[in-house]
Structure 1
Amino acid sequence: MGMFRGTYLQWMKLRLPWRKDVYMGTDLDGNLYFERLVDTYRSRRHVIYRKDLALSEYSDKVIPIQWQAWMRHTRHRIPTLDDLNQDIQRQEQIADNVQKLAAKEARLPISPEDTTKHAHTRQPQFQKSTPGESFQPENWAPAATSSASGNKTGSTKKRHNP
C-alpha cells in the first residue's frame, strides 16, 4: 500500500492542464496540502484532513505551524518532513528545559529575608487613601494693607486717563 500511495502522490504533483488542485505535500499526521492555481495574483491553498474531525474539533493546533505559514502565504518554501521533525524535537527540548527549571526552583530554599522583603507588595489594599484625608489647614490672618495703615505723605496719586 505504501508504494501505491507514493506513486499516487507523485502523480498528483504533476501540473496537468485539466487538474485544478496540485498536491504540494503532507505533514506528519497524514494531512494533504494542495494549491489551486488561478489566474489571480495569488494561488489558493487548502488542506484535506486525514482524520474526519467534527466541526467543533477543528483548530489551529491540528495543522503544524509551518504548514499554516505556507497556507497563509507567509512562508514561500514548502515545509519538509525534516522541518516538522526538527520542530517536534525543539518542542520536546523546551518541555524538558521547563521541567528541569521547575525542579530546580522547587529545590531552592525560601529564606525569611525574601518573604519579609516584599511583604508589603503582597498585602492587599482595602482602602484608597486620598490627599484630602491628611490635610490640616493652618490659621489664616489677613495681611495689613496700605490703605489701612494710612498715607503718611498725604499726597494722592491721580491716574491720567487720556
Structure 2
Amino acid sequence: SYTKRTVQYFEEEEVWRYISGGKRLPIQWSAWLTHTRKEPPTIEELEADIRRQLRLSANVARIEARDAAEAAQMLQMRQQ
C-alpha cells in the first residue's frame, strides 16, 4: 500500500494557478507524487533541471535563427 503524498502550496492563490493549468509542477515532483520515483527531488536536482531547460531554450533559439536565416537566403537566391 502506498502512502498518501500531497502538495502544500505556499499561497492559496497558487492552488488555482496549478488547477487551471496556468502552472505545472516540475516533472520530478509529479513523478514522486504518483509513486513513480521513490525519493522526492532535491533542490540541487531541480536547479540543475532549470539550467538544462535554459540551455535547451537557448539552443532552440539559435537553431531557429539559423534556420530562418537560411530560409531567407534561399528565398533571396530564388528571386535573383
TMscore range, shorter length: 0.7 to 0.9
Q: TM-score, normalised by structure 1?
A: 0.40
Contact 2:9 2:15 in 1 (8 A): no
Structure of greater Rg: 1
Contact 2:5 2:33 in 1 (8 A): yes
Cα deviation code 1:66-93 (max 9, x no counterpart)? 1110000001122100100011001000
Residues of 2 paired with 1:96 and 1:87: CA distance? 14
Does residue 1:98 correspond to 2:60, yes or no?
A: yes
Percentage of matched positions with identical amino acids? 35
Q: CA RMSD in A?
A: 1.9
Q: TM-score, normalised by structure 2?
A: 0.77
Residues of 2 paired with 1:100 and 1:54: CA distance? 33
How many equivalent residue pairs? 72
| Richer in helix (by share) | 2
Gaps of at least 5 residues in structure 1 are: 1-40, 113-162
Q: Which residue of 1 is the match for residue 48 of structure 2? A: 86
Gaps of at least 5 residues in structure 2 are: none
| Richer in strand (by share) | 1
